[in-house]
Amino acid sequence: MSDAIKHECGIAMIRLRKPAQYYIDKYGTAAFASNRLYVLMQKQINRGQDGAGVANVKIDTKPGTRYISRYRSIEPSAVNYIFDKINRKYKKAKKIGGHDALTDGNWLKENTAFTGEVWLGHLRYGTHGENSIETCHPFLKQNNWRSRNLVMAGNFNMTNVEELFDKLVQLGQHPKEKTDTVTVMEKIGHFLDEENQRIFDKYKHQYSNEQITQVIEDELDMARILRRSCRDFDGGYAMAGIVGNGSSFVVRDPSGIRPAYYYADDEVIVVASEKPAIKSAFNIDFNSIKEIQPGHALVINKDGSYDESEIMPAREKMSCSFERIYFSRGTDPNIYQERKNLGKALIPQILKAIDFDLKNTVFSYIPNTAETAFLGMIEGLEDYLAAKRREVFVDGKPHMGDLDELLNFRPRVEKLVSKDVKLRTFITNDDDRDSIVANVYDTTYEVIKSGIDTLVVIDDSIVRGTTLEKSILTTLDKLKPKRIIIVSSAPQIRFPDCYGIDMSKMKEFIAFRAALALLKERKIENTLDQVYESCVAAPYSTENFVKGVYNAFTDDEISAKISEIVTNEDIKAEVQVIYQTVENLHKCCPDHLGDWYFTGNYPTTGGMRVVNKSFVNYMEGKTVRAY
């Protein structure tokens, strides 16, 4: 999207189900798992570029042997940096153990880090707070008992961190931070400890302590631990963890907000946030990749057996539709088709906006991620023209224009805008900065009929409208078109997200700014006070009071006001902004109905509290996030 926002995170997990020697013999490398994890993470780099981390756990090591290894980085190319360090471990092993060291699986496991059976990778987008190595996943909770160690990474945001923190305090803990990552890990860690103690108490009169350690590792019930841990969570999450004994899990929230997919065969079990990453890393059929169901956890036991267990009762599936519109890679065949359908669904609105004058209209897209929706839009125009030809040549309907022109006409398609990534906007004052921002995008000249043509440019989504206002429209206006129509393949973003996307402040949304302007114009600004009073009077309400800000206006009225706001006084062309309808969004992405940022219909009670608090923050002039 032209308004860049930080979003999501990516997880990747690999569990080897055979001894290390198997992969060396079959694939000719001791780095089979490392290489596959590298591909998994690189293919999900779109999900996080602020940092990365990798952890590895060895199963059944001898006491005194290091069995958990971890690297994290906030370097510009963090994934490459980490795997370069891991590869140096293999080079060092060859230097120490000789040429045959890299072909001896047992020797490598005993003498070299990052040669274990369980791998966990994470890609981070920092949605808030500092970006330091301490904020990078995976996190590690350490203990001298192997089965009490916990490594965790996730793609999640919790809306009830305060409540979770208080529960930890009530349990007698002293958490070092009040963040969702720490509270979640400590919560799961607490019940992991209790599970260890339960099994210990069960067998303490039958075995020695040393023997009980092995019994605990074999009998550890991860599904039970997760059921007890997750019952208080409110948010969107796909959380992955490894216990020190080698057991591992990936658990998904009951509404399926955050994505998680897996593939299993007799060699590996692999999990990732996106299906194409698994496809690329293991060259398997897309149909072999399964989705972890909402409210379920994929639990992989120490012995390599696995099961998908219900952890929380699943609610109505409300997986994030932004994954389909923009976040996930479009190489997923389903996502690719959905994005094309989103572009195609806009055709009736576009034709109406251009008065059906295709002859004097040029179609384009920005940014590159909108290309697939653009292809769908062009397909939709071709379908429209085919239907018109059918009416004339088959049904015999009269046609006023030239028949040869009707037969041969194609929509005018041009690459009009591209981003000049070399431009930077630092070390300058605010006035100068705006001038530079206006030139971040470059354009293709001499393809537009000055004062005659209409430009139709499709975008994935318009969040803040800042880039549109300060850069894109200025760039397009240099071509001297008669009209500029910006088309969003997503509906109007009206409400904050609290499940992992960095959209938490009401005042940043161009749709909210438009509603405020309309309230002022119509002298009904008291609506804001009424909504504010409702939010303050019932802070724990499960009703979204902020919907009242928009109730007096139609979608078209909001869009028209947005068109005015983003059009600065220097723009000569007439500007119109068109948005996808929520109805069409659901038709195009029928299995991914999470639309709270468009409709305000949050899937959890915490989401309702967040939106009301976000509005209160706006009214009170607070610029902090609401969760």
pLDDT score of 435 more than 60: no
pLDDT at 314: 96
Calpha distance 473→490 (Å, rounded): 19
Residue 493 in this model has a pLDDT that exceeds 60? yes
Residue 91's pLDDT is what?
Answer: 93
Integer Cα distance of 352 and 374 in angstroms: 18
User: Looking at the predicted structure, is the pLDDT value of residue 429 above 70?
Assistant: no
Q: DSSP code of 47? A: G
| Span of 128-142, 218-232, 297-311 with lowest mean pLDDT | 128-142
Residues 437-467: tens digit of each pLDDT: 555 666 766 789 999 999 999 999 998 888 8
Question: Which pTM was predicted?
Answer: 0.91
581 neighbors 490 (Cβ within 8 angstroms)? no
For residue 229, how many other CB atoms are within 10 A of its CB? 22
Q: Is 64 helix (H, G, I), strand (E, B) or coil?
A: coil
pLDDT cut 70: percent of the chain above it: 94
> Residue 445: what pLDDT?
66
- Locate the DSSP E strands across 74-137: 118-124
User: Within a 10 A sphere around the Cβ of 441, how many other Cβ atoms?
Assistant: 22
Distance in angstroms between the alpha carbons of the first and the last residue of the chain? 25
**Which one is predicted more confidently, 183 or 120?**
120
Which pLDDT value is given to residue 48? 86
**In the block, residue with structure tokens 């000049």:** 420
566 with 465: CB under 8 angstroms?
Answer: yes
Q: Measured over all CA atoms, what is the biggest interatomic distance in the chain, rounded to whole angstroms?
A: 96
**Could you give all domains of the chain from N- to C-terminal order, each with its CATH number?**
10-317 (3.60.20.10), 331-494+555-600 (3.40.50.2020)
> Does the structure show a pLDDT above 80 at 1?
no
If one compares 359 and 7, the residue with the highest pLDDT of the two is 359
Q: Residue 245 pLDDT more than 60?
A: yes
Query: CA nearest 274: which of 289, 255, 288?
Result: 289
Alpha-carbon span 108 to 103, nearest angstrom: 8
Q: Is 238 within 8 Å of 258 (Cβ atoms)?
A: yes
Check whether 537 has a pLDDT greater than 90: yes
By percentage, how much of the chain surpasses pLDDT 90?
Answer: 75
Among 221-235, 291-305, 403-417, 555-569, the minimum mean pLDDT is found in 403-417
Q: How far is CA 606 from CA 160, 170, 618, in A?
A: 6, 21, 18
Residue identified by tokens 């009490």 is 148
- Count the alpha carbons within 13 Å of 341 in the hemisphere toward its beta carbon: 17
**In the predicted model, is pLDDT for residue 415 greater than 70?**
yes
Q: How far apart are CA 432 and CA 437, in angstroms?
A: 9
pLDDT of 189 above 70:
yes
What is the structure's pLDDT at 424? 44
Residue 392 φ/ψ, nearest 5 degrees: -80, -50
449 CB-side CA count, 13 A: 8
Arithmetic mean of pLDDT, 259-278: 97
Helix axes 526-537, 510-521, angle to 10 degrees: 120
104-to-93, 100, 112, 114 alpha-carbon distances in Å: 11, 7, 11, 14
Looking at 93-107, 173-187, 249-263, which range is the least confident one?
A: 173-187
Residue 166 and residue 187 in contact, taking contact as beta carbons nearer than 8 Å: no
Are the beta carbons of 461 and 489 closer than 8 angstroms?
yes
State the residue for tokens 């075995």: 207
Mean predicted confidence (pLDDT) in 423-449: 57
Q: Give the SS3 label for residue 351.
A: helix
What is the pLDDT of the chain when averaged over all its residues?
Answer: 91
Positive or negative, the CA dihedral 188, 191, 195, 197 is positive
For 521, the 3-state DSSP assignment is helix
pLDDT of residue 50: 87
Bigger pLDDT: 2 or 627?
627
Q: Please report the pLDDT score of residue 29 as a whole number.
A: 95
Residues making up the chain, counted from first to last: 627
Note every long-range contact of 72-79, with CB atoms under 8 Å and residues 24 or more positions apart, other chains counting. Answer: 72/133, 72/136, 72/137, 72/138, 73/133, 73/136, 74/50, 74/131, 74/132, 74/133, 74/136, 78/49, 78/51, 78/52, 79/38, 79/41, 79/42, 79/45, 79/52, 79/123
Token duo for residue 116: 């274990």
Mean pLDDT for the stretch of residues 533-558: 96
